[in-house]
Structure 1
C-alpha cells in the first residue's frame, strides 16, 4: 500500500510539472507599439535592418507630430538571454537553413508574440520580410490591442450606467479613468484627464452616437460632414456662440476599410480643431454600418495633449473602439 501511495505521489508530481508549463511563464514587459528585433549587428546595419526600419518606421497618419507605426530596438542573437526573452513583441530574423515565416505566442513569457523570419541568404531574408511586412505589422498591433483590452477589462468602467450606450444597445471595454462629460441618451461624451509628463493638462475623449443609414454607398464620403455637425451641436469651445469642434480644414483625413464586431466599418484618422480658437489634436473615428438596425454607429476618440507625442494615447482609444459589441 505504501508503494502505491509513493507511486501515486510521483505521478502526480510529474503531471503537475508537465501541465503547469504555461501557467508559470513570466509576465512579459515592453512598451506598446515597440518591437525588439533579434538579428546580427551586421544584418541590422545592412539591408535587412534598413528594410525593417523603413517598414516599421512608416509614419502614422493623422498625428500632428511625426510618429512611426512601431518603434524598434535590436539585440544580437548571443545577447538574447533570459532578461531579453521576456519582451512582449519580438521578431527573430536572419539567415537559416530554409525559408520560413511563422508566428508563436507565449514562448518565454505571457502575453508574448514572436515573429520568425528566415531565408537562405540575406537577399532572401529581405525578400521574405517584404513579402510579409504588412502581416507582421498587423500581427504586432493586434497583439498590443488585445493586451490593452485585457488590462482595461481588469479595471473596467461599468458601461451599464450610461443611458446612451443602453439606448443604442452597445457595450465597450473602457478603463475606469474616464469620467462623464455628457450623456443625453443619444450622445455620450467621456473624458480621461492625462496625468503623465507635460500632458497632465490634456485629455483623452470618447464620443458615441448613431445616425440613420441613408445610402450605404455614400457613408465614407459623409464621415467628415457628420462629425462636423455633431461637433457644432455637442462640443463647444470656450465661447459656445462662436467656437466648436470641427475637422481641421488644412489636413485631409484618411479613411480605411475596417471591421468592428464583425460588421463593415470605416476607420478615419485626422486632426480636429476648435473653430476660432487654438485648440487642436488628432482624432480616430470608427463608423460602423449596422444594417440590422438601419443606422451608423459611431465611435470617436480624440486627444488633446499639447507638446507631447500622442501615438500611445490614440492607441488606447483604438483598443476601446475595437472592443465594441452591438446588439
Structure 2
C-alpha cells in the first residue's frame, strides 16, 4: 500500500513541477532578434585576448561562411559585459555565456552567479564537461548555451576541439527559426506533384515555382526584381562510392545537361574556379551525404553567385541524389538567402524515406 502511495506522490510531484515550469514559461517575454544573431556574455579581459579564449570564440562564431563571394560571418555576434546585462538583452533569440573558474575579475564573478553551487563544484571536479544548452531560459523561443571550465586554457582547448558541434547547435536553431517563417503558407500542390512524379519530397514555400521538370531532374525557383533563388534535384542509380570524391565534376555533368539557355544550349551553369568547392561529410536525415559549398557562374560570365548542395545516398532504393540551392543576387549580402535555401533543403526526403519498407510494413 505504501508503495502505491509513494508512486502517486511521485506522479503528483512530477505533474506539479511540469505545471510550474509551464507557468514560468508562460510568464516569459517572447525572444527577439534574427535567426543568426547571438548575444555573447563573457569576461571582457578574456574576450580581448587575441591568442587565447577570445580568439577561439571569434573563430567559432564569427568565422566567414564558406562559399560566399564576399566575407560574411556565420553569426552576427554582439559581445556584452555581464555587468551590463539587462532585461532587454536577456530576451535575445540566441545567447552564449562563457565562464571559467580561474578568472577572478568582477565580470567573472557576475558570470558565476548564473551557476548553482552544485554546478560550480561539478565543474571543478569533472574536466570532461564544458557545455550545457537550454531553451526558454529568459524568453520564450530562446536558445542559450553555457560554455565553462575550471581554467581558461581548458575551455580554450574544448572549444577548439568541439567547434563544429558548437556551431551546429546554433545553425540548427537558425534553420528551425527560418523554417517557421518560410513555411507559413507552403505550396502543398507543388510539393505533391514533385512527390508523385519523382518519388521525393521537399517542402516548398510560397512564392516558388517549377521552372523545369525532366525525367530525373526538377528545377524550382523564386524570383523578384533583384534576387533569384533556385533549387534543383537530380538522381540516378548509385553504383560507385567514388562519386563523393568528385562532387564538382558530378555537379558539372548535371548542370551542363539540365541548366542551360533554351535558346542557346551552349550557355549553361558551371562552377567558378575562383575558390575551391568546400566539402564535408555529413549525416543528412539519416543518410550518408557530402555537403558542398562554392560559387557558380553562367558559362558566358554574365551572372554568378554562391551555392550549397548535398549529395545523398539512399542505399535501400539504390539511388544517389544531388540537391542544390543557389543564389543570384548581384550587389547584395547573400548569407541570409543561402540560409533560407539550407532550411528548404533540410526538408528533402528520398524515395526510401517516403516509401515504407515492405518488411517493416508487415
TM-score (norm 1): 0.85
| 1:108 and 2:114 are equivalent in the alignment | no
The alpha-carbon distance between structure 1 residues 18 and 69, as it changes in their structure 2 partners (threshold 3 A), is closer
The alpha-carbon distance between structure 1 residues 134 and 231, as it changes in their structure 2 partners (threshold 3 A), is closer
| 1:147 and 2:152 are equivalent in the alignment | no
Query: Higher strand proportion, which one?
Result: 1
Partner of 2:105: none
SS in structure 1 at match of 2:207: coil
| 1:43 and 2:46 are equivalent in the alignment | yes
The alpha-carbon distance between structure 1 residues 83 and 190, as it changes in their structure 2 partners (threshold 3 A), is same
User: How many residues align structurally?
Assistant: 309
Partner of 1:83: 88
Q: Alpha-carbon deviations, 1:74-116, whole Å to 9, x = none?
A: 1111222211111111101123445342111121223221111
User: What is the rounded CA distance, in whole Å, between the counterparts of 2:42 and 2:304 in structure 1?
Assistant: 41
User: What is the rounded CA distance, in whole Å, between the counterparts of 2:18 and 2:243 in structure 1?
Assistant: 57
User: What is the rounded CA distance, in whole Å, between the counterparts of 1:125 and 1:43 in structure 2?
Assistant: 11
User: What is the rounded CA distance, in whole Å, between the counterparts of 2:326 and 2:185 in structure 1?
Assistant: 21
Partner of 2:9: none
Contact 1:210 1:298 in 2 (8 A): yes
Partner of 1:254: 278
Pick from 176, 179, 186 the counterpart of residue 216 of structure 2: 186
TM-superposed CA distance for 1:16, in Å, is 7.0
Deviates more, 1:172-181 or 1:283-292: 172-181
User: What residue ranges of structure 1 are gaps of 5+ in the alignment?
Assistant: 1-13, 195-199
Pick from 239, 255, 266 the counterpart of residue 242 of structure 1: 266
User: What is the rounded CA distance, in whole Å, between the counterparts of 1:30 and 1:104 in structure 2?
Assistant: 17
The alpha-carbon distance between structure 1 residues 154 and 244, as it changes in their structure 2 partners (threshold 3 A), is same
What's the Cα RMSD here? 2.6
TM-superposed CA distance for 1:127, in Å, is 3.8
Pick from 17, 20, 28 the counterpart of residue 25 of structure 1: 28
Alignment of 1:64-143 (within 5 A): 64-96=69-101, 97=120, 99=123, 100-143=130-173
The alpha-carbon distance between structure 1 residues 321 and 273, as it changes in their structure 2 partners (threshold 3 A), is same
Contact 2:234 2:254 in 1 (8 A): no
